[in-house]
Amino acid sequence: MTQILEILISGITQGAVYCVVAVGLSLVYGASRILNFAHGSLYSLGGFLAWYLVVGGPGIPLWLAFLLILPVLALTGVVIERAVIRPLRGSDNWKINTIMVTLGLAFIIENGLQLVFGPGTRTIPPFVEGSLSISGITITWYKLSIFVISLALVGALELFLSSTRYGQAVRAVSQDMQGANQVGINVNQVFSTTFALSVVLTGVAGILLAPVFLVSPLGGWAPFLKAFVIVVLGGLGSTKGAFVAAFILAVLEAFVIFYIGPSWAMPAWLLMLIIVLMVRPKGLFGVWEN
Amino acid sequence: MLEVEGINAFYGDFHVLHDASLRVGKGELVSVVGANGHGKSTLLKAICGLTPVKSGQVRFEGHDIAGLKAPHLVGQGLVYVAEDRRLFPDMTVLENLQLGAYLSGAREHEKHNLDRVFTLYPRLAERRKQLCRSLSGGEAQMVALGRGLMSNPTLLAIDEPSLGLAPNLTEMMLTTVSQLNKDGLTVLIVEQSIALLKGMIDRVYSIEEGIVRETNAYNMQEVL
Amino acid sequence: MSATENTPLAKINSVFTGFGLMHDSMVYWAVVAGLALLGGMIGDSYVHHILILVFIWCIVIASWDLILGYAGIFNYAQLVFFTFGAYGSAMLSIYAGLSPLLAIAAAAGIGAVIGLIVAMPSLRLKGEYVALFTFAVHLALPPLIQQGKAIGMGGNTGLLGIPWLNLFGYQVSSIDKLTWYWVALAFGAVCVYLIYFIVLRGRMGLAFIAMRDADTFAQAIGVNEYKYKMLAFVVSAVFTAVAGGLYAHYTSVVTPKVLGTEFFLMAMVMLAIGGMGRFPGAVLGVFIVVIGNELLRSFDDFRLLLLGVAVVLTVIFLPNGVAGLFAKRK
């Protein structure tokens, strides 16, 4: 019983971070219909930048590293959108071209990281040590704190989208681009903003999970695929859906890892993806897709 | 207020507008009438910066605006209401209206304009919390027009408001347009049939295969 | 509909060349003959090796072009088909003692099955979902190959000592580059011909073009979209599996590296640089990239990075690839 509870808790804490990666992915897809295949590599980028600042380089505290990395991630997002995505907008094979370009970008980031930092895996010490024990169930303070931070991030995003005028504009662009144009929304600016936010979200998730998983140049594909499955189950563009789906899937994953083995985690996600797509192609709360 | 001179526009390789010219004076209600597929919508979209203008001049309140994009023109008071409404389906009526006042210029008048829209269409006030996805065609058209008004326009360009509406709803829509015009709003409206606009327009242009001509309203009625 | 019934399908001109099938076929086989002669004149076995790889890649990329460029299905599981072809053929010849040529034929069958399996969920999805799903299959395969160690897939080290090709009693060793050159050229030329000249200029190609350019029109005239998309997967997978089998018997080693970043990137660059859905763009892309990749060997550390940059730059600045350049000049 204790064991099952521990697996459950581990799944839930993990799920919160996956949710951060997932809402980042769905934010960009919702606004600009771009499935960013470099999303996972940007997750790795976050982890590596943090590793460099905290461990490999100047050795500053993690919170300071966060403050320094956030603007870098946001800027990366804007640059990618401006330099790589925007030139393709309106071209003939827009969809396939964006897939090609973002995949290419993923490989550039991956191999760039490998060149700069070397191919090995890295880790960052957690910013809090120790663990909490309640009636035999143990959970580290670190996992608890990344759980809280992740919830706060997702909550903040949801609040931004639902209650600010700019958040409204983001939703407007995702629902009807011409309509957004007509009321005076600068659609290109919204694209850049969502891209920046998305990269920040996935990069932060990469930093938060660095002490739990390891950071490696190719390590972004797993969270990316997981995020995608979450987004599909939750319904593209639905933050609420992603939230629920992240917990369901992460808990399932935790059980698969415990009872069958870690190398089955990825095939299990793939199987879940197939089942989800078969049973509920529009996801639990899918609203944006027309 | 609006002077269009010899504009040309294309849809892909297809030449849609041929040297189109028209003029709308302050406080006027001017109409462009023509059958489907003859370039009415393209003309309106070209003026409002939603379709690129290949050549020619568009002046709005003395400024050359040809080539400027819609988001910019909305800020200057040139507002477009689309024939296919272009509402945000998964947002409430109120949110759609609020987004009409997205730009800071319109934001200043947001409260006043919202009152105006709700007075004009009390039904929208009742349904303010309803998602636009679930509105009827007539209600959706009210939101579209209301959203245009929320942008605080000096010239409202309305694209075929009767599209898909029952005759009594069309009449109601056009009556409010006429009322808005009498209250001082300049309007450029596009319709398929002049019969609908009888008695409310100051001047009328006909458009046929992308060629625009000013027409005497009386003649026009005979032609149709 | 009547138009397609009255027009002999074989007469449909290539979108690219604008000439008839006979004319294009003659040019094609003349080029192949030229390459065959060229093989005899080349003395350097390293150059042979590079060109053998080019010919094998041509099959893979032509198959990918068929499904991605012509059928418009965003399939990214191409190397999965390749891997199944390579492993299947290798295992059948190692464990079941099948002669390599038979094993390659069997690999084609395996490819068909795998193509079908990947197609079924994919065809329920649209656009970029297909891309992600198929790419996920690609990513999920290496850990499964690890698991497959139990059934003789060799895990990380892969399969070694795959039997050489046996042609009419003659063992073609990997060192015999000249014979391999002709074998790979023959396989490559036939497969590419079948793909671009038979399949794509036939009813299937017509259906693809109709589906890609005018989806609703295609449905209106009764093109069974599901059937043709399924066929696209199967045909593409069959040819790619043949290439995989050929590759296995040529190198006599298969490891999970065939699913690694390098192969995938190479394939992407080939298609991007060549241009999708515009024969002979993709095939030219293979020549350019394999040869370019060899010239870049000295930059080994940066090579993968440069390949990534090449993908991004070509898509942005040369959206229709090399084939697009030719088309413009026309």
Given a contact cutoff of 8 angstroms between Cβ atoms, the answer to whether C254 and C263 are in contact is no
- What CA dihedral angle connects C122, C123, C126 and C127, to 10 degrees? 70
Quote the DSSP letter at residue C164. P
Digit-coded pLDDT (tens) for C141-156: 888 888 787 787 887 7
If we measure between CA atoms, which residue out of A199, A265, A185, A287 comes closest to residue A14?
A265
- Peptide bond before residue C280 is cis, with ω within 30 degrees of 0: yes
**Residue C112 vs residue C165, higher pLDDT:** C112
Return the number of CB contacts < 8 Å for A and B. 71
Digit-coded pLDDT (tens) for B190-215: 998 888 888 888 889 999 888 888 88
Chain C residues whose CB is inside 8 A of the A106 CB are 308
Domain ranges of chain B: 27-50+69-223
**Domains of chain A (ranges plus CATH)?**
2-279 (1.10.3470)
Q: Is the pLDDT of residue A239 over 90?
A: no
Q: Is the pLDDT of residue C170 over 80?
A: no
Domain B27-50+69-223 part of CATH 3.40.50.970: no
Q: Is the pLDDT of residue A178 over 50?
A: yes
Are C268 and A103 in contact (CB < 8 Å)? yes
Task: Identify the band that residue C265 occupies on the pLDDT scale cut at 50, 70 and 90.
Answer: confident
Select the residue of C125, C136, C309 nearest A108 (Cβ to Cβ): C309
Query: Which chains have 3+ CB pairs within 8 A of C?
Result: A
Chain B meets chain A (3+ C-beta pairs below 8 A) = yes
Residue-level pLDDT at C222: 67
Digit-coded pLDDT (tens) for A91-145: 878 888 898 899 999 999 999 999 999 888 999 998 888 888 888 888 889 999 9
Are A277 and C147 in contact (CB < 8 Å)? no
Residue-level pLDDT at A186: 94
Select the residue of A178, A184, A290 nearest B102 (Cβ to Cβ): A184
Residue-level pLDDT at C166: 77
Are A168 and B75 in contact (CB < 8 Å)? no
CA distances from C167 to C106, C182, C183 (A): 17, 12, 9
**Average pLDDT, whole number, for chain B?**
91
Are A111 and C305 in contact (CB < 8 Å)? yes
**Average pLDDT, whole number, for chain A?**
89
Percent of chain A with pLDDT over 70: 96
Closest residue, chain C, to A266 (C-alpha): C140
Digit-coded pLDDT (tens) for B95-145: 999 999 999 999 999 999 999 999 999 999 999 999 999 999 999 999 999
Residue given tokens 């490989």 in the structure block: A107
DSSP secondary structure string for all residues of A198-252: HHHHHHHHHHHHTTTS-B-TTTTHHHHHHHHHHHHHH-TT-HHHHHHHHHHHHHH
Chain A residues whose CB is inside 8 A of the B71 CB are 181, 184-187
In chain B, residues 57-116 whose CB comes closer than 8 Å to chain A: 69-72, 74-75, 79-82, 85-91, 95, 98-100, 102-103, 106
First to last CA, chain A: 44
If we measure between CA atoms, which residue out of A229, A256, A260, A267 comes closest to residue A245?
A229
Q: Which tokens in the block code for residue A207? A: 């930093």
Closest residue, chain A, to B69 (C-alpha): A181
Interface with A, mutate which of B42, B84, B102, B117 (most A CBs under 10 A) = B102
Given a contact cutoff of 8 angstroms between Cβ atoms, the answer to whether C233 and C119 are in contact is yes
Chain B meets chain C (3+ C-beta pairs below 8 A) = no
Residue-level pLDDT at B217: 58
Are B90 and A183 in contact (CB < 8 Å)? no
Interface with A, mutate which of C137, C311, C318, C320 (most A CBs under 10 A) = C311
Q: Is the pLDDT of residue C2 over 60?
A: no
Select the residue of C129, C136, C261 nearest A225 (Cβ to Cβ): C136
Residue type, A139: I
Digit-coded pLDDT (tens) for B6-32: 999 988 788 999 999 999 999 999 999
CA B187, CA C73: separation in Å to the nearest integer? 47
**Residue C201 vs residue A39, higher pLDDT:** A39
Closest residue, chain B, to A188 (C-alpha): B71
Task: Identify the band that residue A285 occupies on the pLDDT scale cut at 50, 70 and 90.
Answer: low
Chain A meets chain C (3+ C-beta pairs below 8 A) = yes
Q: Is the pLDDT of residue A72 over 90?
A: yes
DSSP secondary structure string for all residues of C169-199: TEEE-TT-HHHHHHHHHHHHHHHHHIIIIII
Domain ranges of chain C: 24-259, 260-330
Closest residue, chain A, to B71 (C-alpha): A184
Are A184 and B98 in contact (CB < 8 Å)? no
**Residue A264 vs residue A203, higher pLDDT:** A203
If we measure between CA atoms, which residue out of B17, B32, B33, B16 comes closest to residue B192?
B33
Are B86 and A178 in contact (CB < 8 Å)? yes
Residue-level pLDDT at A287: 47
Select the residue of A168, A178, A187 nearest B98 (Cβ to Cβ): A168
Which range is least confidently modeled, A59-68, B2-11, C203-212? Answer: C203-212
Are A266 and C129 in contact (CB < 8 Å)? no
**Residue C32 vs residue C10, higher pLDDT:** C32
Residue-level pLDDT at C3: 36
